Chain A
Amino acid sequence: MKVTLESSDGQVFTVDKEVAELSVIIKEMLVIEQANQDHPIPLLNVGAVELAKVIEYCEHHRNDPTIDDDEDYDSRKKPIEMDDWDKQFTIVNKEMMFELILAANSMQVKPLLHLGCRYAADIVKRMSPTEIRDLFQIDDDFTPEEQDKIEWEKQWTKL
């Protein structure tokens, strides 16, 4: 069975239902709107470029086992496996990857979200707080006193 998806800029994609269902959001919507499948499903936050990439990912991973994604998920114990295809897939610029994380998050494609976050973690872990802020244009909203306090508390955690 086929499902049609519409990106925020109006482009329509037709994919197999089982591929689209890697997105938890679409899966839930298909359950609710079983009768009405003539119209494409609109994805208001996902542009055509990103959606094409998300679909490419889902096509490749259509037969994967679902990840048990409970609240206490801790990849430090059980990292998500990456194959050669995934490694190729992540060779994109940072901006594209962050767009993909956003898309995966809004569509709730869990394995892609994990893949993107693993990529982001690899970037972040080599950086100082200032570098992270500069790269992602995040505002430093701490006062110097707050910053000192956090620095000082750090020693207690022995990390």
Chain B
Amino acid sequence: MPPTRSLVLPTHPLELPEVLLYISAYLPLRHLPSCALVSKTWNQVVTPLIWKEIKYCHSEHGSDVIQRHRHLIKTLDVDAVFLMRCASIRFPNLESLNVGSGYDHPGFEAFIPEHPSASLQISVWGPDCREQPGIWDMFLGFNNIKSLELKDMDFDGRDTSSIWQLCTRLERLELNNPLLKGFNRPSKEFSRIKEMALFDIRKEDGLKILELLKRCPHLTTLICKFWGTSEQNCSFFRDFARLLSEGAWSDLKAITTKVHLELDSNYISAIIRGMKQIHVLSLWGFKPHHFDLLRPHLDTITEIDLGGGSTSEMNQEILSYSPMLKRFKATYIYGTDVAEGQPWVCLGLEKLDIGFEFEPLTIHHDQPLVFDQLSKLTRIEKMSFYFGPHGFGAPKESFDFRLEYGLHKLATLRRLSVFRFYRTTQRMGMEEIDWMLNHWKSLSEVEGRFTKWSHYSDWTLRKRLENHGIKCKDYHPRDYFLRD
């Protein structure tokens, strides 16, 4: 049976819309308008791509142009000038609306998606918005709004009832650097909110944030980043942990905290006990004795970062008993623990950030076995090795990425795109570099020092990678702490 789809074929591939769509995906956006002029077929393919995302329009005329393409626009960045011109246009397929500061027009009821299943994400930034009560009533007209991001929003002394009314419809709320001085406790319950992201919360606002969280009983994901290291943050986590262990937020599966203090050991116990199922756990202050509480959750965990609080044996246990694991960050793991431990089961791991440490006497035995485990992680995209060393006792040795020691086993890591090795002592040569170029087809970034022999040889190896379009960085301790 021949493939029926291709019985009728135009003579040239560049007249097949499906092929043109692939080609246009490889063209920088700025080349698309000229492609629109080639023929009607080309025009039909590239026009939706051209109009998908529209930023501020300062052109003097032409709201009729926007009007004509309104159904193609999915992302819109607007400011006052734009609004004055386009206030009456409806955008039926809008997915994302960004409202900048300087908004001063009362009426743009029109940005309402008509498609019932469409969800809308709105970002509002700049304190200027507080001067515009009309804006919230306008957003209330959006039936499909699912996600709201508020940047630098000032809640001080204003009527927040419209905002809270809007929040009852949201699935995701993000507050970025909110000013909560005159914040009033919301009277409504936000029963649809599943994800709350709180960035750059001032240290004195912890308890106000808690009031907000109390209104979200079905929360599944909490991401929070506080400023400072004060007592007030502690009181937020104390009360949060207490409420959680008393049964609040029974759907909570993911917690990511970025706080520059170690949480009290008791709060951590209460948080882990309070979560019925754990998918994501990222916090500081974890201690080895918490691991017994975490152990029953290993089979559901997808992402874990315990801020360096887990031991090598625990890290090996996580890798051997967490089949769902996608992202894992920990400080160190001993080669011996991997070599003698259970095989890893986290075959879907995408990001690994850990320091391998080997005993000088057993490194030649253990290292090939560690390479064996790593070679099973065929879905890995980012791999970082930070050599502390953190262990006690005799001095440890770092991973040695040479072909003769087993690097060749990692030929299976075909998705690897970022490879970093910090503070390790490498003795790589051109052989290793050429091997990487041949086998790691997705490699785009390497960070670390390739060889300790000389700066010149290190430079030569770096140049070779750079000539193949791979970004190379020498390791800098500062970068380790700043990166994501």
Q: Is the CB of A76 within 8 A of B28?
A: yes
Given A81-B441, A142-B37, the answer on whether A117 and B51 have CB atoms closer than 8 Å is no
Task: Establish whether residues A128 and B22, one from each chain, have CB atoms under 8 Å apart when the complex forms.
Answer: no
18 other contacts beyond A75-B25, A117-B26, with CB at 8 A cut-off? Answer: A33-B1, A44-B3, A45-B6, A45-B9, A65-B378, A65-B414, A75-B26, A83-B437, A105-B16, A106-B9, A120-B26, A121-B23, A125-B28, A150-B33, A154-B36, A156-B66, A158-B54, A159-B50
B253 within 8 A of A: no
A88 contacts partner chain B, Cβ-Cβ < 8 Å:
no
**Pair A150/B25 contact, Cβ less than 8 Å:** no
Cβ-defined contact, B59 with A159, below 8 A: no
Which of A25, A75, A79, A155 is in CB contact (< 8 Å) with B59? A155
Are the C-beta atoms of A138 and B6 separated by less than 8 Å?
A: no
- The smallest C-beta distance from A91 to any residue of chain B, in angstroms, reads 17
In the A-B complex, the 6 residue pairs with the smallest Cβ-Cβ separation, listed nearest first, are: A121-B26, A117-B22, A129-B37, A106-B6, A101-B13, A154-B33
Determine the chain B residues whose CB is within 8 A of the CB of A117 once the complex forms: 19, 22-23, 25-26
With a cutoff of 8 Å between Cβ atoms, the chain A residues found around residue B29 in the complex are 76, 159
Is the pair A128, B378 in contact by a Cβ cutoff of 8 Å?
no
Provided the pairs A105-B19, A129-B34 are in contact, do residues A73 and B57 lie with their beta carbons within 8 angstroms? no
Chain B residue at minimal CB-CB distance from A6 = B2
Q: Find residues 15-45 in chain B having any chain A CB closer than 8 Å to their own CB.
A: 15-16, 18-19, 22-43
B1 near A153: Cβ-Cβ < 8 Å = no
Contact pick for A150, options B13, B43, B62, CB 8 Å:
B43
Query: Are the CB atoms of A157 and B13 closer together than 8 Å?
Result: no
* Residue contacts A-B, CB under 8 angstroms, 13 given: A25-B3, A44-B2, A76-B28, A76-B29, A81-B441, A101-B13, A101-B19, A107-B3, A113-B22, A138-B42, A150-B37, A156-B59, A159-B29
- Asked if B12 lies at the interface with its beta carbon under 8 angstroms from chain A, I say yes
Interface residues of A in 36-71 (CB under 8 A from B): 42-45, 63-65
Binding site for A on B (CB under 8 A): 1-3, 5-7, 9, 12-16, 18-19, 22-43, 50-51, 54-55, 57, 59, 62, 65-66, 68-69, 378, 414-415, 437-438, 441-442
Determine which of A63, A81, A106, A138 lies in contact with B3 in the assembled complex, contact meaning CB atoms within 8 Å.
A106
CB distance B3 to A157 under 8 Å?
A: no
* A residues in contact with B25, CB < 8 Å: 73-76, 117, 121
A25 to B2, CA, bound (A): 10
Name the residue among B2, B31, B41 with the largest chain A CB count within 10 angstroms. B2
Bitwise, A139-155 to B at CB < 8 A (1) or not (0) is: 11110000100111111
Number of A-B contacts (CB under 8 A): 142
With beta carbons under 8 angstroms apart, the residue of A102, A114, A132 that contacts B22 is: A114
Contacts of B30 in A (CB 8 A): 159
Whether A83 and B1, one on each chain, are in contact in the complex, defined by CB atoms closer than 8 angstroms, is no
Bound-state CA distance A152–B59 (Å) is 11
Chain B minimum-CB-distance residue to A75: B25
| Contact between A157 and B33, CB atoms less than 8 A apart | yes
Summarize B's interface: helix, strand, loop or mixed.
helix
Q: Which residues of B contact A65 (CB under 8 A)?
A: 378, 414-415
Residues of B within 8 A of A83 (CB): 437-438, 441
Q: How far is the CB of A151 from chain B (nearest CB, A)?
A: 7
Chain A minimum-CB-distance residue to B378: A65
Report A-chain residues with C-beta under 8 Å of the C-beta of B40: 141-142
Once bound together, how far apart are the Cα atoms of A40 and B186, in whole Å? 70
B50–A42 CB distance below 8 A: no
CB neighbours (8 Å) of A120 from chain B are 13-14, 23, 26
The contact of B32 among A107, A114, A133, A159, by CB within 8 Å, is A159
B438 nearest in chain A by CB position: A83
- Docked-complex contact B59 and A138, CB < 8 angstroms: no
- Which residue in A107, A128, A136 is a CB contact (below 8 Å) of B34? A128
Bound CA–CA A5/B335 (angstroms)? 49
Q: Which of B22, B42, B66, B69 has the most A CB atoms < 10 Å from its CB? A: B22
Q: Does A118 contact B (CB under 8 A)?
A: yes
Q: Contacting B39 at CB < 8 Å: which of A32, A102, A128, A138?
A: A138
Say whether B39 contacts A139, CB under 8 Å. Answer: yes
Query: Which residues between 109 and 129 of chain A lie within 8 Å of chain B, taking CB atoms?
Result: 113-114, 116-118, 120-122, 124-125, 128-129
Shortest beta-carbon distance, B114 to chain A, in Å? Answer: 21
Distance of A132 Cα from B59 Cα, bound (Å):
29
CA distance A15 to B444 in the complex (A): 33
Q: How far is the CA of A120 from the CA of B1 in the complex (A)?
A: 31
Q: Provided the pairs A102-B13, A124-B31, A138-B14 are in contact, do residues A129 and B57 lie with their beta carbons within 8 angstroms?
A: no
Residues of B within 8 A of A156 (CB): 54, 57, 59, 62, 65-66
Whether A157 lies near B51 (C-beta < 8 A) is: yes
